[in-house]
Amino acid sequence: MATIRSYAFLFFASALLLCQLCFAAPVAVGHDGRAITINGDRRILISGSIHYPRSTPEMWPDLIQKAKDGGLNAIETYVFWNAHEPLRRQYDFSGNLDLVRFIQTIQKAGLYAVLRIGPYVGAEWNYGGFPVWLHNIPGIKLRTNNDIYKNEMQNFTTLIVDMMKHEHLFASQGGPIILAQIENEYGNVMRPYGDEGKKYIQWCAALAESYHIGVPWIMCQQKDAPQSMINTCNGLVL
Ligand SMILES: *[C@@H]1O[C@H](CO)[C@@H](O)[C@H](O)[C@H]1NC(C)=O
């Protein structure tokens, strides 16, 4: 009897282990007005940036492990449009630009990922990460309520979101990405854009929501961030 029971136990234990190896469990990310919650618990995220194009895939595990050893529980990166789409509709996700591999490396280290898609980025990166061909499209106006620009932004953003979904990298799918960002620090520059800027931010929020990624979206420095977008800030509270 005892033997049967221990066999049964072993069977269940190994089945459980196998399940954990095959499928990472979906994680519920939310916010309650004061904190980000993960599976219902308030969590303090201590996240650091690693911009994947600035190092090689061989370096990533070590960089991420150092971040973890230093006490971080999340890695944050922008997505660099002009590196991924140097010519219109010609993409590069190879080598240092292998975003999927980078996010998977974060997951293997047991950390969360924060994906700041933008696609406008800061990071002392040329032209906010916008491709030069974008600048050269007749009639385009960047980062405002301009159909030509919005079409291109939507095209690239959709590509990235679909790629992450396909690889099951959002936390809602068992992946490490707990937060995603649309636009970036626009609130700091939006005034001269007037009403067109306000419409643009509404459009960004609607676009983000339309993807149904199952984790919250953040905007950065966006006091008027539309409902469901979390407004985050740059700064130090003393
Ligand atoms: C992006 O634009 C190309 C045409 O230039 C189109 O074939 C493709 O379907 C678009 N992708 C999305 C996600 O809209």
Hey, where are the domains in the chain?
A: 2-232
Q: Which helix (H) or strand (E) holds 48?
A: strand 47-49
Whose C-alpha lies nearest to ligand 1, atom 5?
A: 89
| Ligand 1 atom at minimal distance to the Cα of residue 88 | 5
Whose C-alpha lies nearest to ligand 1, atom 7?
A: 89
Distance CA 196, CA 204 (A): 12
- Is the Cβ–Cβ distance between 139 and 99 less than 8 Å? no
Q: Which among 85, 89, 137, 166 is the best mutation to test ligand 1's pocket, defined by most ligand atoms within 8 Å of the CB?
A: 89
Residue indicated by tokens 């679909």: 162
| Cα-to-centroid distance, 155 and ligand 1 (Å) | 6
Distance CA 174, CA 223 (A): 31
Phi and psi torsions of 80, nearest 5°: -105, 95
* Residues composing the chain: 238
Residues with Cβ within 6 A of ligand 1?
89, 155, 158-159
Q: Which helix (H) or strand (E) holds 20?
A: helix 2-22
Distance CA 110, CA 175 (A): 10
Whose C-alpha lies nearest to ligand 1, atom 10?
A: 155
Q: Which CATH code fits 2-232?
A: 3.20.20.80
Whose C-alpha lies nearest to ligand 1, atom 1?
A: 155
Distance CA 119, CA 157 (A): 7
How far is the CA of 173 from the CAs of 127, 177, 191, 209, in angstroms?
A: 33, 9, 38, 17
Distance CA 176, CA 160 (A): 15
Q: Report DSSP state, residue 180.
A: E
pLDDT in tens, the chain (238 residues): 444 455 544 445 555 454 444 568 999 999 998 899 999 999 999 999 999 999 999 999 999 999 999 999 999 999 999 999 999 999 999 999 999 999 999 999 999 999 999 999 999 999 999 999 999 999 999 999 999 999 999 999 999 999 999 999 999 999 999 999 999 999 999 999 999 999 999 999 999 999 999 999 999 888 888 888 898 887 766 6
Distance CA 45, CA 37 (A): 10
Cβ–Cβ contacts within 10 Å for residue 198, how many?
Answer: 15
